[in-house]
Amino acid sequence: MAPDRFPVSIEGRDLELSNLDKILFPAAGFTKGEVIDYYTRVAPVILPHLADRAVTRIRYPNGVDGVHFFEKNKPGGTPGWVRLETLPVPGSTKSRETIDFVVVDDLPTLVWLANLAALELHTPQWKIGKNPDLLVVDLDPGAPAGLRECSAVAVLMRDRLAADGVAAFPKTSGKKGMQLCCPISGTQDAELVTAYAKKVAEELAAMVPASITAKMAKAIRPGKIFIDWSQNAAAKTTVTPYSLRAQEHPTVSTPLTWDEVEAVGTGAAEPHHYRPAEVLDRIEAHGDLLSELLVPGPKVPVS
Q: What is the pLDDT of residues 256-300, one digit of tens each?
A: 999 999 999 999 999 999 999 999 999 999 999 999 999 999 999
106: helix, strand or coil: coil
**Distance in angstroms (rounded) separating the CA atoms of residues 231 and 238:** 7
Q: What is the pLDDT of residues 41-59, one digit of tens each?
A: 999 999 999 999 999 999 9
The pLDDT of residue 95 is 55
**Distance in angstroms (rounded) separating the CA atoms of residues 298 and 172:** 24
**Among residues of the chain, what percentage have pLDDT more than 70?**
97
**Distance in angstroms (rounded) separating the CA atoms of residues 142 and 150:** 10
**Distance in angstroms (rounded) separating the CA atoms of residues 82 and 88:** 19
* Among the listed residues 40, 1, 41, 6, the one whose alpha carbon sits nearest the alpha carbon of residue 20: 6
Residue 72 contacts residue 150 (beta carbons within 8 Å):
no
β-pair partners for 16: 7
Check whether 213 has a pLDDT greater than 70. Answer: yes
**What average pLDDT score do residues 117-145 get?**
97
The pLDDT of residue 217 is 81
The pLDDT of residue 91 is 61
Q: What is the pLDDT of residues 68-95, one digit of tens each?
A: 999 999 999 999 999 999 998 866 555 5
The pLDDT of residue 1 is 41
**Distance in angstroms (rounded) separating the CA atoms of residues 262 and 264:** 5
**Distance in angstroms (rounded) separating the CA atoms of residues 234 and 92:** 11
Q: What is the pLDDT of residues 227-259, one digit of tens each?
A: 999 999 999 999 999 999 999 999 999 999 999
**Distance in angstroms (rounded) separating the CA atoms of residues 114 and 40:** 9
Could you tell me if residue 105 is left (phi over 0), alpha (psi between -120 and 50 degrees) or otherwise beta? alpha
Q: State residue 217 phi and psi, 5-degree precision.
A: -55, 120
**Distance in angstroms (rounded) separating the CA atoms of residues 169 and 134:** 11
